[in-house]
Amino acid sequence: MDADKIRNLTDVELGSQERELADQLFKLKFQLNMGQTESLKKLRGLRKDIARVKTIAGERKRAGATEKR
């Protein structure tokens, strides 16, 4: 997922996107451990997408904290 697409999401959509990606990551790790898949590229991509979502959520949180001062 592209960072621009993530920035266009609302806070609620951002949270649900993070949960969805984490769920996909869990399922993929489970399949990897069971020997059902060898999709390391997808695993890395999901981790990067989760990091992007968390980064943008943190940016918004910090921006909101500075506005309150």
**For 16-58, what is each residue's pLDDT tens digit?**
999 999 999 999 999 999 998 888 999 999 999 999 999 999 9
pLDDT for res 64: 86
Specify burial of residue 25 (Cβ count, 10 A radius: 0-12, 13-18, 19+). middle
Domain holding 7: CATH number? Answer: 1.10.287
Domain count, the chain: 1
Structural domain boundaries, residue 64: 3-68
* Sign of the CA dihedral running 48, 54, 58, 64: positive
Conformational region of residue 2, where left means phi above 0, alpha means psi within -120 to 50, and beta covers everything else = beta
pLDDT higher than 80, residue 68: no
Beta strands in 10-61 (DSSP E): none
pLDDT above 70: percentage of residues in the chain: 99
